Structure 1
Amino acid sequence: MTTLLRIHGFSAPVAGPKLIVLGGVHGDETCGTEGIERVVAELDAGTLALRCGALTLVPVANPLARQRQRREGERNLNRLFQPSDAPADYEARITNLLCPLLDRHDVLLDLHSFQSAGDAFAMIGPRDNTGTLEPFAQATEEGRLALHLGTSRVVEGWLDIYADSLARRAALPGGMPVDDAALAFGWGTNEYMRSRGGYGVTLECGQHRDPEAPKVAHRAILAALRLLGMVASAPEAAPPSRPELLRLVSVTDRAHEGDQFVREWATFDAVAQGEPIGVRDDGAVLHAECDGVIVFPNSEALPGTEWFYFAVPSDRVL
């Protein structure tokens, strides 16, 4: 299997939005690849026609990770997603290829899946703001895209809780101060897209091996194309139902291989304040900080990486 980046580009003779869709940012997440390949086949066969704009499809954004059939090639492609003058690893070199692609587009749809059981959901960025962490002015457009992807839940708040987790680590004995380089490591594809004046949504299509996940990915690509007016819409299409909106409030790292969950959690399992979630290697019990839900529980997380996230209901309106 090649470690070359394969890119499909389609342009209509009529001007319009520019959408890029990524699959396989993590090598063990194949649903996005399958959904993209299906759309490529439909466009090639003429059963799907682009009426305006430009569409770029990248079935496998991290070919080395896919070749190795694991999440990462040499590191997580969805971290430190910024161009580098001196790329130090394979993912940095791929980032240098992907960033100019994103620069030429208005909208990003990034297709993923997750390790635990759970239903598909969309992830969006910050509300409109002029702050220093992630200034943004297209929250309405981004929320509208998430609303039309067909999931029952939408989650906000990634970069905020990443910055908070850095601050907590810095407060520990021997902790490193939080600087721009540390914050930049939290940047993924969507953060980069927003920094370039566009907007982006991550779609978590379900569990890695869920046979429905590729169908979720395929439907989402078509939904995005219809929403942007790039393909014809069915006149009888019903308006989307309102998803549950959640806000990430914390992330907990797995510190030791001996850290274990008290039971097998699924994404969006509800927990009550004080309920035990996991037990550290030294016997310390981790309890839920308040009523909420578990997101991305990963019993296979390596020490020093994200073990689980915690979310609560959001007051945001899409």
Structure 2
Amino acid sequence: MLPFQAISFTTTEPGKRLIVTGAVHGNEVAGTHGIRRVIAEIESGALALARGSVTFVPITNPKAYALKRRNGDRNLNRNLQPTAPGVAPAEFEDHIANWLCPLMAQHDALLDLHSFQAQGQAFVMVGPQNNTGALEPTVHGDTERDWALRLGVKRAVDGWLGTYAKGVDERRARAERQPASEGKRHDLDAKYGVGTTEYMRSTGGMALTLECGQHDDPNGPEVAYRAIRNTLALFGLTDEPVPATETAMEGLHLGTVVDKFDRNDAFARPWQSFDPLRAGDVIGTRANGEVVRAPHDGYIVFPNALAEANYEWFYLAEATRRFNP
């Protein structure tokens, strides 16, 4: 069994309890590099903590990291929850969840650092606006928005879990029309789509996911590092000046997730995240010849040409004014 590592720094003064995670997906290492840089600065005395505490998890999924791939046994960031009492962990990610979820619950805020497969600029994913609904209730919507405006990126996206819930409903409907397959389908679970940030909000905390750019973007570690430093300053863990608010933030709201039905479904061209779409534009073609078109004007997000059947192929988003300061 590979070990888990969390590195914590605690001051004598009360303050926010922040946790920062990297490599939730094993091939997304910009956050890992950014985290290790900040740890080194704290340990050397180059960066002084003034109050509160911070916990760093440089490699959240050590199995996926060792294999240099997205997942170990499954996608940790789609069905994150501890196993029920008396139920033995079946996959490596179950062991991670049993360790990570209680750890996150000990903190007030989570900054989760990721990267993505297609080319594109860094952006931040934010939770819903304040609400008391059943899906993802929160009182931190305004705080998350203001935090997102100070991370150092120029694009923010919301709507994740609501979009996923609709996508899982559609996936279930397709599965009911198909011959039964052996084994458990995690992608049909009602909680599919709940990852680190969604779990953190379920504990009453606040959370942001920072997508630091394309996996191999050499600037990704700097994006992660700057976001950590800005967050420490914003929450008062350091006495550095509070970072300025981004005044030209582009805001987008996810509304649709589209799955691959067959691994041979193919894009019409090599899409990049946030490429604009006009209604009727050809996005791709199914293996059975069906042409997939944009249903309305908007943007394509997270296009994944390497997706397997029954997993997300791309998302559609539209502009929102939520992030205009």
| Normalised TM-score (structure 2) | 0.93
Q: Please say if residues 123 and 201 of structure 1, whose CA atoms lie closer than 8 Å, have aligned partners that are also in contact.
A: yes
Distance in 2 between the 1:15 and 1:234 partners?
A: 19
Residue of structure 1 equivalent to 2:23: 24
Instruction: Tell whether 2:235 aligns with 1:228.
Output: yes
1:281 and 2:293 are equivalent in the alignment: no
Question: Matched residue of 1:315: which SS?
Answer: coil
> 1:259 matched to which residue of 2?
265
The RMSD of aligned alpha carbons is: 1.5
Deviation at 1:128, TM superposition (A): 0.9
CA distance in 2, matches of 1:251, 1:238: 33
Amino acid at match of 1:248: L
Matching residue's letter, 1:140: D
1:243 matched to 2:242? The reply is: no
- 1:12-31, Cα deviation, whole Å (9 max, x unpaired): 11010000000000000010
- Name the CA distance, whole Å, in 2 between partners of 1:36 and 1:173: 41
Determine the C-alpha separation between the residues in 1 that align with 2:279 and 2:62.
42
What is the identity, as a one-letter code, of the residue corresponding to 1:109? Answer: L
C-alpha distance in structure 2 between counterparts of 1:55 and 1:174, whole Å: 46
Structure 1 pair 257–170 and aligned structure 2 pair: CA distance change class (3 A): closer
Out of 114, 117, 121, the position equivalent to 2:116 is 114
Specify the alignment match of 2:200 in structure 1. Answer: 193
Instruction: Report the AA paired with residue 290 of structure 2.
Output: A
Residues 80-121 of structure 1: CA distance to partner in whole angstroms, max 9, x if unpaired? 211113222110111110011111100000000000000000
Q: Show CA shifts across 1:59-84 (max 9, x none).
A: 00000000111000000111221111
CA offsets per residue over residues 137-187 of structure 1, 9 Å max, x none?
A: 1101111111111111100001101111122234447259xxxx8221221
> CA 1:288/1:49 → structure 2, altered by over 3 Å: closer, same or farther?
same
1:164-183 paired onto structure 2 within 5 Å: 164-172=166-174, 174=176, 182-183=189-190
1:241, distance to aligned residue in structure 2 (A): 2.4
Query: One-letter code of the match for 1:156?
Result: D
User: Is the 2:171–2:310 contact (alpha carbons within 8 Å) kept by the matching residues of 1?
Assistant: no
Aligned pair 1:75/2:81, yes or no? no
Counterpart residue type for residue 138 of structure 2: F
Q: 2:312 aligns with which of 291, 306, 312?
A: 306
2:308 and 2:171 map into 1 onto residues whose CA distance is 17
Q: Deviations over 1:17-46 (max 9, x none)?
A: 000000000000010000000001000110
Tell me the SS of whatever aligns to 1:135.
coil
Instruction: Report matched runs for 1:148-167 at 5 Å.
Output: 148-167=150-169
| Number of matched pairs | 312
Alpha carbons 1:247, 1:313 under 8 Å: kept: yes
Give structure 1 stretches of 5+ with no counterpart: none
> Residue 59 of structure 2 aligns with which residue?
60
Compared CA separation, residues 161 and 239, structure 1 to 2 (3 A): closer
**2:133 equivalent among 114, 123, 131:** 131
Distance 2:264 2:78 in 1: 26
Q: Which residue of 2 aligns with 1:93?
A: 95
Stretches of structure 2 lacking an aligned partner (at least 5 in a row): 179-187
* 8 Å Cα contact 1:3/1:67 also seen in 2: no
Q: Amino acid of the residue matched to residue 269 of structure 1? A: D
CA shift in 2, pair 1:191/1:239, >3 Å: closer
CA distance in 2, matches of 1:173, 1:211: 41
AA in 1 matched with 2:191: A
Instruction: Out of 181-190 and 40-49, give the one that drifted further.
Output: 181-190
- Residue 216 of structure 1: how far off its partner (Å): 0.2
Q: Distance in 2 between matches of 1:60 and 1:234?
A: 29
The offset of 1:58, in angstroms, is: 0.3
Higher mean displacement: 79-88 or 237-246: 237-246
The match for 2:226 is 219
For residue 209 of structure 1, what is the aligned residue in structure 2? 216
